[in-house]
């Protein structure tokens, strides 16, 4: 625990400079790309979103304020459901910045070697100067994202019972069918429930 606290990166300042925000956004986004298995397009967008968030911070009141909410809203458009759930579960991604004793602290450095990168720099690292989070609505609202089943196992559900089975239901007392069971499967208002009998 003590070692982890020592590894947290701190920056003494109020508003974060563009260069400082750029470097922190790059490190954070690189680790998110690795852990969340981002596509190249997602990596670019995540970098922009992280940079916008960091450049919007002016004091401790901004850490979990409107710009944090905007970051999460934009990321919902970029990440699929599996990726977003994992993002929220990893606190150093979900709450990457804290304000302590007049300094910004970055918890991500407690989990990764600060000199190691898993990916090349995103293309927008050189060109993007921020500002997408200042527009009305999300800049990423129409972004295509990979289907969730590409990252998580698919849950298979049984097919629904047909409404009009070809054969009538057969009742066999040897299988423990009770009067209560039969009552629950008695046709009502001219509709047959036979197709749902015996299914779970």
Q: What is the pLDDT along the chain (200 residues), one digit of tens a residue?
A: 334 433 455 544 467 899 999 999 999 999 999 999 999 999 999 999 999 999 999 888 888 999 999 999 999 999 999 999 999 999 999 999 998 888 889 999 999 999 999 999 999 999 999 999 988 889 999 998 888 755 444 333 433 444 444 444 344 444 444 443 334 443 444 444 433 323 33
Q: How far apart are CA 144 and CA 77, in angstroms?
A: 8
Distance CA 149, CA 57 (A): 35
Within 8 A by CB and 6+ apart from 18, the residues are 55, 129, 130
Its pTM stands at 0.69
What is d(CA 107, CA 109) in angstroms, rounded to the nearest whole number?
5
Q: d(Cα 186, Cα 83) in Å, to the nearest integer?
A: 46
Quick one: CA dihedral 179, 183, 185, 191, positive or negative? positive
The pLDDT assigned to 126 comes to: 95
- 3 state DSSP class of 38: coil
């Amino acid at each position: 625990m003590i070692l982890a606290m020592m590894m947290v990166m701190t920056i003494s300042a109020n508003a974060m400079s563009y260069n400082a925000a750029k470097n922190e956004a790059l490190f954070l986004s690189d680790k998110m790309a690795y852990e969340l298995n981002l596509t190249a397009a997602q990596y670019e967008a995540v970098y922009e979103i992280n940079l916008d968030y960091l450049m919007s911070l002016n004091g401790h009141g901004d850490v979990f304020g409107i710009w944090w909410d905007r970051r999460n809203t934009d990321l919902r458009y970029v990440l699929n459901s599996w990726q977003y759930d994992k993002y929220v579960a990893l606190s150093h991604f979900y709450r990457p910045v804290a304000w302590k004793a007049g300094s910004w602290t970055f918890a991500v450095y407690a989990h990764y070697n600060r000199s190691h990168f898993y990916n090349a720099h995103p293309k927008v690292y050189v060109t993007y100067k921020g500002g997408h989070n200042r527009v009305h609505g999300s800049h990423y609202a129409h972004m295509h994202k990979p289907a969730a089943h590409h990252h998580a196992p698919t849950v298979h559900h049984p097919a629904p019972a047909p409404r009009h089975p070809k054969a009538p239901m057969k009742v066999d007392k040897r299988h423990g069918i009770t009067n209560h069971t039969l009552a629950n499967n008695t046709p009502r208002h001219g509709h047959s429930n036979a197709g749902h009998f015996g299914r779970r």
